[in-house]
């Protein structure tokens, strides 16, 4: 990584504004945190700054409040969980900018923590408004971006603020870039991609960019229907991106020319209705009825994918094999998670719903690395620049 990190700058006795990703999952009824992995992921940077006697000002978004105050998206609940994890108080504010935030920031002692209120209560955050960015920067002496999950967005707290403060990467950001960069630059061979999810369009750039680096790509999830359609299979009512059929065809042709095995399902689970308890069956891909839709991969496909993955030295996985929101359609996804957890290989999980599956199954510690950013990891592996990373200071030669 060619960017400076928090280790490359003197933070002692300085007010340090740290962009973290505390966009945690909440229970819809109780509003309790159901997964605190994003909070835990920020602890190495927080602990480092504490050890160096910095005055720590954390900022994050949560949910999609649409630029206005939404009471159940306030970050006090996150502050309580963070306080429990680190064993000391975390100060909170009613806003992320303005007089109250400035007073609290100025009053911090060495190693004290302040968590600002939800950034997205202000529409100016997502608009990357320079006045809002300057107001955030006014709180601190140094800026640290430790929120890889939002680094693909040019927002005020990820890109705009760097115009006003010296800006470096946090330890989580550094780890993300090193692991994801590593599979692009020097993966342990054979290198395979396990790719699912609903849409081909979400994965095109990533698939094209890794094509010259992988030995095989396994295609599952809803996006498999578009590839099967290219091969003239009947896919019934399955989601097919008609405007991406040529794209899928081109990807298959590129794979063939590059000597990359692009492996599609041989059997799938189908149903007439996408709902819990709906009748379902597993059929070969040449037996899909016109009145049914694909909702998961089948047993033979699980065996086929498993056979390929057992030979891998590196695996990158992004996207579920079925409809992740409905338990009846998750067998393929769970089978892949269990398999990857048992491999003697580098297993990199590409954030988003894939990371949620692995964490909820209690398999996180059995994977080499789990990214905290689904969209960011896809963009990075697609060879595209991340605004939140590009804005950071380069390493000194």
Catalytic residue among 192, 236, 332, 352: 352
Q: Does residue 385 have an active-site annotation?
A: no
The length of the chain in residues reads 397
Q: Does residue 199 have an active-site annotation?
A: yes
Q: Which residues have a Cβ under 8 Å from the Cβ of 232 and sit 6 or more positions away?
A: none
**Which neighbouring-strand residues pair with 69?**
none
Catalytic residue among 80, 81, 199, 249: 199
Q: Measure the CA–CA gap between 151 and 313, rounded to whole angstroms.
A: 28
Q: Measure the CA–CA gap between 140 and 156, rounded to whole angstroms.
A: 15
Q: Measure the CA–CA gap between 41 and 371, rounded to whole angstroms.
A: 10
Q: Does residue 3 have an active-site annotation?
A: no
Catalytic residue among 38, 175, 203, 244: 38
Q: Measure the CA–CA gap between 98 and 136, rounded to whole angstroms.
A: 9
The tokens for 114 are 């302040």
Q: Measure the CA–CA gap between 285 and 267, rounded to whole angstroms.
A: 5
> Which uninterrupted H or E stretch holds 58?
strand 55-59
Q: Which residues have a Cβ under 8 Å from the Cβ of 351 and sit 6 or more positions away?
A: 149, 318, 370, 371, 372, 373, 374, 375, 376, 377
Cβ(115)–Cβ(74) below 8 Å: no
Q: Does residue 352 have an active-site annotation?
A: yes
Is the Cα dihedral 202, 170, 121, 154 positive or negative? negative
Query: What dihedral angle (degrees, nearest 10) is formed by the CA atoms of 5, 8, 11, 12?
Result: 140
Known catalytic residues are: 38, 199, 352, 375
């Amino acid at each position: 990584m060619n960017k400076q990190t928090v280790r490359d700058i003197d933070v002692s006795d300085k007010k340090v504004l740290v962009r973290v990703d505390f966009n945690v999952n909440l229970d819809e009824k109780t509003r309790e945190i159901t997964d605190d992995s994003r909070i835990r992921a920020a602890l190495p940077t927080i602990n480092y700054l504490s050890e160096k006697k910095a005055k720590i000002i954390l900022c994050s978004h949560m949910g999609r409040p649409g630029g206005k105050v939404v009471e159940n998206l306030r970050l006090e609940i996150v502050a309580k969980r963070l306080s429990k994890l680190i064993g000391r108080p975390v100060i909170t504010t009613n806003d992320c900018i303005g007089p109250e935030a400035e007073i609290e920031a100025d009053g911090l002692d060495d190693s004290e923590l302040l968590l600002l209120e939800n950034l997205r209560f202000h529409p100016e955050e997502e608009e990357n408004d320079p006045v809002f960015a300057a107001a955030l920067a006014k709180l601190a002496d140094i800026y640290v971006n430790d929120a890889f999950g939002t680094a693909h967005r040019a927002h005020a707290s990820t890109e705009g603020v760097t115009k006003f403060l010296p800006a470096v990467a946090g330890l989580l950001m550094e780890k993300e870039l090193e692991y994801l960069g590593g599979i692009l630059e020097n993966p342990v061979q054979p290198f395979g991609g396990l790719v699912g999810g609903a849409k081909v369009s979400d994965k095109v750039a990533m698939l094209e960019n890794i094509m010259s680096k992988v030995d095989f790509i396994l295609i599952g999830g809803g996006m498999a229907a578009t590839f099967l359609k290219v091969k003239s299979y009947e896919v019934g009512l399955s989601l097919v991106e008609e405007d991406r059929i040529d794209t899928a065809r081109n990807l298959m042709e590129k794979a063939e020319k590059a000597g990359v095995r692009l492996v599609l399902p041989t059997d799938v689970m189908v149903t007439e209705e996408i709902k819990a308890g709906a009748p379902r069956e597993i059929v070969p891909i040449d037996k899909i009825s016109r009145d049914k839709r694909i909702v998961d991969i089948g047993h033979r496909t699980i065996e086929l994918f498993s056979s390929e993955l057992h030979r891998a030295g590196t695996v990158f996985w992004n996207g579920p094999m079925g409809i992740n929101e409905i338990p009846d359609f998750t067998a393929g996804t769970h089978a892949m998670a269990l398999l990857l957890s048992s491999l003697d290989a580098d297993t990199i999980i590409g954030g988003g719903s894939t990371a949620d599956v692995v964490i909820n199954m209690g398999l996180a510690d059995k994977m080499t690395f789990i990214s905290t950013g689904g969209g960011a990891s896809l963009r990075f592996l697609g060879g595209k620049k991340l605004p939140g990373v590009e804005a950071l200071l380069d390493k000194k030669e």
